[in-house]
Amino acid sequence: MRRSKWIIIIIGLGVLIGSGWWLLGHVTTQKAQQVKQTENEQPTFYLHGYGGSARSTDSMIKAAREQKNATQVLTATVRKDGSVDLQGRWLAKTTRPIVQVVFEDNRNPNYQQDGEWFKNVLVAVNRQHSFKRFNVVAHSMGNLTAVYYLLNHAIDKQLPRMAKMVNIAGHFDGIIGMDDQPNQNQVKKDGQPQKMNATYRQLMGLRNQLPAKSIAVLNIYGDLGDGTHSDGRVSNASSQSLRYLVTPGAKTYQEKKFTGKKAQHSQLHENHAVNQTVLAFLW
């Protein structure tokens, strides 16, 4: 009898332990699926550059639709007074929703204002379809819109949090022909530029504003290979200077340089290889 009781107890313990491991594995799998589902449901906002329009980001959005089953749900047009018009419809459970942002005043050099206008977009979209985290893909001046938004609102708990940021041809520390020249500036090992313009000095506040490990950053820049170490409009040093601004708070930071004629400033967002890199980073 005693032997039989011990056998029953051992079998019972084995069943309990086995059930526990199964339940733990099941819960872990569920959590992983929930995280994946959340990432797939968070919107990605595409920001064009100076003088840009919807056409500026059309090819990137098309690649996302065709290769990653993303869906352009809305076009957000920012009027000159900062108000936002939304066109389209964001249905529940849409896979990888995309919002294309178009600025009516597309030559506004006031980066602080651009950042506030982008905040207006987030508020308007969030009213229609609530979301907690979002991604940004920006080209040229769109990068300044994104980072100035972060400078002023990264810690605002009333707003959604930026999860991933793709920066393409960003002029964070000068534009060639305006306040920069080819081979005039260099970045140190930690990404800090040797020379800082007024905009960059203002953006230095990002080093203290970004919450720890909050954003995954992909910084893409072009080099024509003609000795200027630039994409024709922005020096590599100006683009690479982003690293010093975001690394204290960034979850991850990656840089990717593209070379040749298709790495020209206005061609980077049309570059097939660039699109592949962006899509792999986002999803």
Question: Which residues of the chain are modeled with pLDDT < 50?
Answer: 23, 26-35
If you ran DSSP here, which 8-state letter would residue 80 be given?
T
Integer Cα distance of 200 and 73 in angstroms: 34
Beta bridge partners of 252: 216
pLDDT confidence of residue 241: 98
pLDDT confidence of residue 38: 78
Which residues, at least 6 apart from 111, have a Cβ–Cβ distance to it below 8 Å?
141, 144, 145, 148, 199
pTM (two decimals): 0.87
**CA 234 from centre of chain:** 20
pLDDT confidence of residue 27: 45
CB 236 within 8 A of CB 186: no
One-character DSSP codes across 92-145: TT-SSEEEEEEESSTT---HHHHHHHHHHHHHHHHHHS--SEEEEEEETHHHHH
Integer Cα distance of 255 and 167 in angstroms: 9
CB 140 within 8 A of CB 50: yes
Find the farthest-apart pair of alpha carbons in the chain and give their distance in angstroms, rounded.
Answer: 94
pLDDT confidence of residue 33: 47
pLDDT digits (tens, 9 = 90+) for 239-266: 999 999 999 999 999 999 999 999 999 9
